[in-house]
Chains A and B, each alone.
Chain A
Amino acid sequence: MALLSSARYRAAGVFLALAGLLGFCVASTEGLINVYRIILPGNTLPDGAYPYPPEFWGVNAILSDVSICFLVIGMAAVFLAKERDEYLERIRLESVQFAVYAQFLVGLVAFAYVYCTPGYQIENTFQGIMGMACGAFLVAYGLRYYYIVHIKTDEE
Protein backbone atom coordinates (compact mmCIF):
# COMPACT_ATOMS: atom_id res chain seq x y z
CA MET A 1 0.00 0.00 0.00
CA ALA A 2 2.82 2.40 0.83
CA LEU A 3 4.24 2.10 -2.67
CA LEU A 4 1.01 3.09 -4.39
CA SER A 5 0.88 6.50 -6.03
CA SER A 6 -1.73 9.20 -5.59
CA ALA A 7 -5.03 8.71 -7.41
CA ARG A 8 -4.77 12.23 -8.86
CA TYR A 9 -2.33 10.97 -11.51
CA ARG A 10 -4.71 8.32 -12.82
CA ALA A 11 -6.38 10.46 -15.51
CA ALA A 12 -2.98 11.63 -16.75
CA GLY A 13 -1.86 7.99 -16.69
CA VAL A 14 -4.72 6.92 -18.96
CA PHE A 15 -3.84 9.70 -21.41
CA LEU A 16 -0.12 8.81 -21.31
CA ALA A 17 -0.77 5.09 -21.84
CA LEU A 18 -3.08 5.69 -24.81
CA ALA A 19 -0.68 8.22 -26.33
CA GLY A 20 2.18 5.77 -25.83
CA LEU A 21 0.23 2.95 -27.44
CA LEU A 22 -0.65 5.15 -30.42
CA GLY A 23 2.93 6.34 -30.76
CA PHE A 24 4.26 2.80 -30.59
CA CYS A 25 1.81 1.64 -33.27
CA VAL A 26 2.87 4.55 -35.52
CA ALA A 27 6.57 3.89 -34.94
CA SER A 28 6.33 0.12 -35.46
CA THR A 29 4.49 0.52 -38.79
CA GLU A 30 6.78 3.36 -39.97
CA GLY A 31 3.71 5.58 -40.09
CA LEU A 32 5.88 8.58 -39.34
CA ILE A 33 6.64 8.82 -43.03
CA ASN A 34 3.08 10.07 -43.57
CA VAL A 35 3.81 12.98 -41.22
CA TYR A 36 6.83 13.85 -43.37
CA ARG A 37 4.61 13.55 -46.44
CA ILE A 38 2.20 16.15 -44.97
CA ILE A 39 4.85 18.52 -43.59
CA LEU A 40 7.18 18.38 -46.60
CA PRO A 41 4.96 17.54 -49.60
CA GLY A 42 7.49 18.95 -52.06
CA ASN A 43 9.79 15.95 -51.65
CA THR A 44 7.36 13.57 -53.38
CA LEU A 45 8.87 12.00 -56.51
CA PRO A 46 7.09 12.26 -59.90
CA ASP A 47 5.90 8.65 -59.64
CA GLY A 48 4.18 9.39 -56.28
CA ALA A 49 6.80 7.66 -54.13
CA TYR A 50 8.17 9.45 -51.10
CA PRO A 51 11.84 8.82 -50.27
CA TYR A 52 12.75 8.27 -46.62
CA PRO A 53 14.77 11.24 -45.35
CA PRO A 54 18.22 10.36 -43.97
CA GLU A 55 17.21 11.15 -40.37
CA PHE A 56 13.96 9.13 -40.58
CA TRP A 57 15.14 6.00 -38.79
CA GLY A 58 16.67 7.98 -35.93
CA VAL A 59 13.45 9.95 -35.40
CA ASN A 60 11.42 6.74 -35.68
CA ALA A 61 13.57 5.06 -33.02
CA ILE A 62 13.17 8.06 -30.69
CA LEU A 63 9.39 7.99 -31.22
CA SER A 64 9.33 4.27 -30.46
CA ASP A 65 11.40 4.59 -27.26
CA VAL A 66 9.50 7.63 -25.98
CA SER A 67 6.18 5.89 -26.71
CA ILE A 68 7.22 2.83 -24.73
CA CYS A 69 8.24 5.11 -21.83
CA PHE A 70 4.84 6.84 -22.00
CA LEU A 71 3.08 3.47 -22.05
CA VAL A 72 4.99 2.12 -19.04
CA ILE A 73 4.65 5.33 -16.98
CA GLY A 74 0.96 5.65 -17.89
CA MET A 75 0.19 2.05 -16.97
CA ALA A 76 2.09 2.43 -13.69
CA ALA A 77 0.12 5.60 -12.88
CA VAL A 78 -3.15 3.77 -13.52
CA PHE A 79 -2.49 0.37 -12.00
CA LEU A 80 -0.36 1.48 -9.05
CA ALA A 81 -2.68 4.29 -7.94
CA LYS A 82 -4.48 4.22 -4.62
CA GLU A 83 -8.18 3.44 -4.69
CA ARG A 84 -10.76 5.14 -2.51
CA ASP A 85 -11.58 2.00 -0.54
CA GLU A 86 -10.88 -1.72 -0.23
CA TYR A 87 -13.85 -2.74 -2.41
CA LEU A 88 -12.57 -0.72 -5.37
CA GLU A 89 -9.09 -2.15 -4.78
CA ARG A 90 -10.49 -5.67 -5.05
CA ILE A 91 -12.40 -4.80 -8.24
CA ARG A 92 -9.22 -3.36 -9.68
CA LEU A 93 -7.23 -6.48 -8.87
CA GLU A 94 -9.91 -8.71 -10.39
CA SER A 95 -10.05 -6.47 -13.45
CA VAL A 96 -6.28 -6.71 -13.91
CA GLN A 97 -6.54 -10.51 -13.72
CA PHE A 98 -9.42 -10.45 -16.22
CA ALA A 99 -7.43 -8.17 -18.52
CA VAL A 100 -4.40 -10.48 -18.41
CA TYR A 101 -6.59 -13.38 -19.57
CA ALA A 102 -8.10 -11.18 -22.31
CA GLN A 103 -4.63 -10.12 -23.43
CA PHE A 104 -3.45 -13.73 -23.58
CA LEU A 105 -6.55 -14.84 -25.47
CA VAL A 106 -6.40 -12.03 -28.05
CA GLY A 107 -2.68 -12.60 -28.57
CA LEU A 108 -3.19 -16.34 -28.98
CA VAL A 109 -6.08 -15.96 -31.44
CA ALA A 110 -4.21 -13.33 -33.48
CA PHE A 111 -1.07 -15.47 -33.50
CA ALA A 112 -3.04 -18.56 -34.57
CA TYR A 113 -4.82 -16.58 -37.29
CA VAL A 114 -1.58 -15.23 -38.72
CA TYR A 115 0.18 -18.59 -38.38
CA CYS A 116 -2.60 -20.56 -40.09
CA THR A 117 -3.38 -18.07 -42.87
CA PRO A 118 -1.24 -18.50 -45.98
CA GLY A 119 0.55 -15.38 -47.15
CA TYR A 120 1.34 -13.90 -43.74
CA GLN A 121 4.89 -13.75 -42.45
CA ILE A 122 4.93 -14.12 -38.67
CA GLU A 123 8.14 -12.05 -38.50
CA ASN A 124 6.36 -9.07 -40.04
CA THR A 125 3.25 -9.23 -37.89
CA PHE A 126 4.72 -10.13 -34.49
CA GLN A 127 4.91 -6.50 -33.32
CA GLY A 128 1.36 -5.89 -34.49
CA ILE A 129 0.12 -8.92 -32.55
CA MET A 130 1.92 -7.77 -29.41
CA GLY A 131 0.51 -4.25 -29.80
CA MET A 132 -3.00 -5.59 -30.28
CA ALA A 133 -2.68 -7.83 -27.22
CA CYS A 134 -1.44 -4.87 -25.16
CA GLY A 135 -4.39 -2.81 -26.39
CA ALA A 136 -6.73 -5.67 -25.48
CA PHE A 137 -5.36 -5.57 -21.93
CA LEU A 138 -6.10 -1.86 -21.54
CA VAL A 139 -9.54 -2.07 -23.12
CA ALA A 140 -10.56 -5.18 -21.13
CA TYR A 141 -9.36 -3.62 -17.88
CA GLY A 142 -11.18 -0.35 -18.46
CA LEU A 143 -14.41 -1.95 -19.62
CA ARG A 144 -14.62 -4.49 -16.78
CA TYR A 145 -13.67 -2.04 -14.05
CA TYR A 146 -16.19 0.60 -15.08
CA TYR A 147 -18.89 -2.00 -15.82
CA ILE A 148 -18.59 -3.53 -12.33
CA VAL A 149 -18.29 -0.25 -10.43
CA HIS A 150 -20.66 2.03 -12.32
CA ILE A 151 -23.21 -0.28 -13.95
CA LYS A 152 -23.47 -3.69 -12.28
CA THR A 153 -23.16 -2.51 -8.67
CA ASP A 154 -25.67 0.29 -9.21
CA GLU A 155 -28.22 -2.17 -10.59
CA GLU A 156 -28.23 -4.15 -7.34
Chain B
Amino acid sequence: MSSQNVKLENTLRVERAIRRMTQADLAARVDVSRQAIIAIETGKFIPSAVLAIKLARVFGKPVEDIFILLDEESPVPEEVEP
Protein backbone atom coordinates (compact mmCIF):
# COMPACT_ATOMS: atom_id res chain seq x y z
CA MET B 1 0.00 0.00 0.00
CA SER B 2 1.73 3.16 -1.13
CA SER B 3 1.23 6.50 0.57
CA GLN B 4 -0.15 7.90 -2.71
CA ASN B 5 -3.60 6.34 -2.34
CA VAL B 6 -3.93 6.76 1.42
CA LYS B 7 -5.76 9.56 3.14
CA LEU B 8 -5.67 10.27 6.83
CA GLU B 9 -8.69 12.14 8.05
CA ASN B 10 -9.03 13.46 11.55
CA THR B 11 -11.64 14.81 13.93
CA LEU B 12 -9.42 17.37 15.63
CA ARG B 13 -11.62 20.30 14.68
CA VAL B 14 -14.73 18.58 16.01
CA GLU B 15 -13.05 17.54 19.25
CA ARG B 16 -11.72 21.06 19.73
CA ALA B 17 -15.15 22.55 19.13
CA ILE B 18 -16.73 20.17 21.68
CA ARG B 19 -14.22 21.28 24.30
CA ARG B 20 -14.25 24.96 23.17
CA MET B 21 -10.51 24.78 22.66
CA THR B 22 -8.63 27.10 20.28
CA GLN B 23 -5.91 25.99 17.89
CA ALA B 24 -3.40 27.89 20.01
CA ASP B 25 -4.57 26.07 23.17
CA LEU B 26 -4.19 22.68 21.53
CA ALA B 27 -0.81 23.63 20.11
CA ALA B 28 0.40 24.64 23.57
CA ARG B 29 -0.84 21.37 25.07
CA VAL B 30 1.18 19.23 22.66
CA ASP B 31 4.09 21.69 22.35
CA VAL B 32 3.91 22.43 18.63
CA SER B 33 3.24 25.58 16.62
CA ARG B 34 -0.29 26.74 15.83
CA GLN B 35 0.57 26.39 12.17
CA ALA B 36 1.18 22.67 12.70
CA ILE B 37 -2.32 22.24 14.18
CA ILE B 38 -3.84 24.13 11.24
CA ALA B 39 -1.93 21.97 8.76
CA ILE B 40 -2.99 18.75 10.50
CA GLU B 41 -6.65 19.80 10.68
CA THR B 42 -6.75 20.68 6.99
CA GLY B 43 -5.06 17.41 6.04
CA LYS B 44 -1.98 19.13 4.62
CA PHE B 45 0.33 17.46 7.09
CA ILE B 46 0.29 13.92 8.50
CA PRO B 47 1.71 13.98 12.04
CA SER B 48 4.22 11.49 13.39
CA ALA B 49 3.03 8.65 15.60
CA VAL B 50 4.30 10.46 18.69
CA LEU B 51 2.41 13.65 17.88
CA ALA B 52 -0.74 11.71 16.96
CA ILE B 53 -0.68 9.92 20.33
CA LYS B 54 -0.12 13.22 22.15
CA LEU B 55 -3.09 14.77 20.36
CA ALA B 56 -5.31 11.78 21.12
CA ARG B 57 -4.32 11.92 24.79
CA VAL B 58 -5.41 15.55 25.01
CA PHE B 59 -8.92 14.47 24.07
CA GLY B 60 -8.79 11.27 26.12
CA LYS B 61 -9.52 9.04 23.16
CA PRO B 62 -7.68 6.28 21.27
CA VAL B 63 -5.63 7.44 18.28
CA GLU B 64 -7.92 5.53 15.91
CA ASP B 65 -10.87 7.63 17.02
CA ILE B 66 -9.07 10.87 16.19
CA PHE B 67 -7.22 9.79 13.06
CA ILE B 68 -9.06 7.67 10.51
CA LEU B 69 -7.05 5.98 7.79
CA LEU B 70 -8.81 5.82 4.43
CA ASP B 71 -7.41 4.08 1.38
CA GLU B 72 -8.72 2.96 -1.97
CA GLU B 73 -8.42 -0.75 -1.25
CA SER B 74 -10.47 -0.58 1.91
CA PRO B 75 -13.00 2.23 1.65
CA VAL B 76 -15.10 3.24 4.59
CA PRO B 77 -17.91 0.66 4.95
CA GLU B 78 -21.37 2.02 4.32
CA GLU B 79 -23.68 2.05 7.26
CA VAL B 80 -26.14 -0.84 7.21
CA GLU B 81 -29.68 0.13 7.90
CA PRO B 82 -31.34 -1.95 10.62
CA gap between A85 and B32 in the complex, in Å:
5
Stretch with Cβ within 8 A of B (4 or more), from A34-42, A129-137, A148-156: A148-156
Give the Cβ gap from B53 to chain A, nearest Cβ, in Å: 13
Q: Which residues in chain B, 26-74, are within 8 Å of chain A measured between CB atoms?
A: 31-33, 35-36, 38-40, 42, 44-45, 47-48, 51
Give the Cβ gap from A25 to chain B, nearest Cβ, in Å: 34
**Do A86 and B35 touch across chains, with their CB atoms under 8 A apart?**
no
Residues of chain A within 8 A of B44, CB atoms compared? 156
* Number of residues from B at the complex interface, CB < 8 A: 14
Residues of chain B within 8 A of A87, CB atoms compared? 32-33, 35-36, 39-40, 45, 47
Chain B facing A: main interface SS: loop
Residues of chain A within 8 A of B38, CB atoms compared? 153-154, 156
Residues of chain B within 8 A of A154, CB atoms compared? 35, 38
CA gap between A117 and B45 in the complex, in Å:
46
**Do A84 and B42 touch across chains, with their CB atoms under 8 A apart?**
no
- The answer to whether the Cβ of A109 comes within 8 Å of any Cβ in the partner chain is no
Residues of chain A within 8 A of B35, CB atoms compared? 87-88, 149-150, 153-154
Give the Cβ gap from A153 to chain B, nearest Cβ, in Å: 4
Residues of chain A within 8 A of B48, CB atoms compared? 86
CA gap between A87 and B41 in the complex, in Å:
12
CA gap between A149 and B37 in the complex, in Å:
12
CA gap between A117 and B72 in the complex, in Å:
54
* Number of residues from A at the complex interface, CB < 8 A: 11
Complex interface bits, A77-96 against B, C-beta within 8 A gives 1, otherwise 0: 00000001111101000000
CA gap between A87 and B40 in the complex, in Å:
9
Give the Cβ gap from B36 to chain A, nearest Cβ, in Å: 4
CA gap between A155 and B68 in the complex, in Å:
25
CA gap between A88 and B42 in the complex, in Å:
16
Residues of chain B within 8 A of A84, CB atoms compared? 32-33
CA gap between A154 and B23 in the complex, in Å:
11
Binding site for A on B (CB under 8 A): 31-33, 35-36, 38-40, 42, 44-45, 47-48, 51
A-B contact pairs, 11 of them (CB 8 A): A85-B32, A85-B33, A85-B36, A87-B36, A87-B40, A88-B35, A88-B36, A90-B45, A150-B35, A154-B35, A154-B38
